[in-house]
C-alpha cells in the first residue's frame, strides 16, 4: 500500500436524473467540490451514495467517473459490501479492476451471521483482491455488530487495513484502536464523533456531511493534527447542527437537498425516499446560511 489511510474521506452522494440514471456532469462537479474543500480521499457508491439501488454497471460507471476526475490527486475508496460473500467478492473485484485504491465492506445486512461466519466472510473478501480492505461497522442499519474480539482477529489478515465504525459507541471504538496494530486504521463513521475518535487514536473519518461542508470537517482533522484541540472542538460543535439536520428527512436526502441549495444538482433520492417539504427545506437553508455555505 503506497498511501496512508487517514483524514477526512467524504461518503459521496450519487447524483441521479429523474429516470434514475447517473448525472455524470454533477458527479464530476461534486468530485471537484470535495477536492477543493481539502479532503484526503473520496468514497463513492456507499450507503450515502445509495449503493443499494444501483446496478453493478452503475456502480462501476460512478466509480470510474470519480477516479477519472480525481486524476490521482487523492485515494479513491469504493464501497463494496453486499449480503452474500459471492456478490461482495464480485463487487470488490470490480472496484479493484476499475482502479479503486481501497474498498470498504459493510457487514451483511438482514441475515445475522455468527462471529465465525463474519470472520470467514471478510477473510474470503480480503483474499480475493490485492488492495486494502476496510471493514464497515454500522449495527443500527445492518443489525450486525463487529465485536472487539472479532476485530482483533480480523486485523491480523494481511490486507484488512482498518475499519469505519458507525456504532456510536466510543467504548467499542476505543477497543478497536487499543486491540489492533499501530498501522491499523480506525475511522469515525459518526460525524458527531470525529474529534472523539481522533483523541482516542483514530486516524480520521468517512463522513457524509462533508458532501456539503468539506472545509469545516477537514478543519476538525487539521486543527487536531496541529495540536489545536480547542479549535478542533469549535469546528466539531459548529458541524453539529448540520449532522443533526438528518432528522429533517429520510437518509440520505438531506445531503442531496443541501447540495442543491448550494448549486450542485445532486438530483433526487431513489424511491421510496422522498424530497423534504418546504418547512424542512427552510430549516436546512437556515443551517447552511449560518455555516456560510450559501
Q: What positions carry a catalytic annotation?
A: 136, 164
Q: Are 166 and 186 in contact, with CB atoms under 8 Å apart? A: no
The whole-angstrom separation of Cα 161 and Cα 112 is 24
Neighbours of 263 (CB within 10 A): 9
Residue 48 annotated as lining a ligand binding site: yes
Residue 206 annotated as lining a ligand binding site: yes
**Annotated binding-site positions for pyruvate:** 48, 206
Amino acid at each position: 500500500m503506497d498511501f496512508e489511510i487517514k483524514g477526512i474521506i467524504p461518503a459521496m452522494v450519487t447524483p441521479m436524473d429523474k429516470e434514475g440514471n447517473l448525472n455524470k456532469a454533477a458527479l464530476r462537479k461534486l468530485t471537484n467540490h470535495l477536492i477543493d474543500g481539502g479532503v484526503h480521499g473520496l468514497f463513492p457508491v456507499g450507503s450515502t451514495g445509495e449503493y443499494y439501488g444501483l446496478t453493478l454497471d452503475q456502480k462501476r460507471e460512478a466509480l470510474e467517473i470519480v477516479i477519472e476526475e480525481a486524476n490521482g490527486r487523492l485515494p479513491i475508496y469504493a464501497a463494496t459490501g453486499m449480503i452474500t460473500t459471492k456478490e461482495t467478492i464480485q463487487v470488490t473485484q470490480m472496484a479493484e479492476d476499475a482502479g479503486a485504491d481501497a474498498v470498504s465492506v459493510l457487514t451483511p445486512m438482514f441475515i445475522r451471521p455468527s462471529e465465525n461466519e463474519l470472520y470467514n466472510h471478510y477473510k474470503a473478501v480480503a483474499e480475493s483482491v490485492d488492495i486494502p480492505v476496510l471493514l464497515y461497522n454500522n449495527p443500527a442499519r445492518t443489525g450486525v455488530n463487529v465485536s472487539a474480539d472479532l476485530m482483533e482477529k480480523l486485523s491480523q489478515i494481511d490486507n484488512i487495513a482498518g475499519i469505519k465504525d458507525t456504532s456510536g459507541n466510543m467504548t467499542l471504538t476505543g477497543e478497536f484502536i487499543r486491540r489492533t496494530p499501530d498501522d491499523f486504521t480506525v475511522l469515525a463513521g459518526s460525524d458527531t464523533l470525529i474529534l472523539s475518535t481522533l483523541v482516542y487514536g483514530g486516524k480520521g473519518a468517512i463522513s457524509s456531511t462533508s458532501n456539503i461542508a468539506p472545509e469545516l470537517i477537514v478543519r476538525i482533522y487539521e486543527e487536531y493534527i496541529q495540536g489545536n484541540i480547542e479549535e478542533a472542538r469549535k469546528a466539531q460543535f459548529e458541524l453539529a447542527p448540520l449532522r443533526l439536520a438528518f432528522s429533517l428527512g429520510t437518509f440520505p436526502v438531506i445531503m442531496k437537498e443541501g447540495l442543491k441549495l448550494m448549486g450542485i444538482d445532486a438530483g433526487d433520492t431513489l424511491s421510496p425516499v422522498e424530497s423534504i417539504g418546504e418547512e424542512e427545506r427552510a430549516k436546512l437553508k437556515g443551517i447552511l446560511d449560518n455555516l456560510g455555505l450559501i
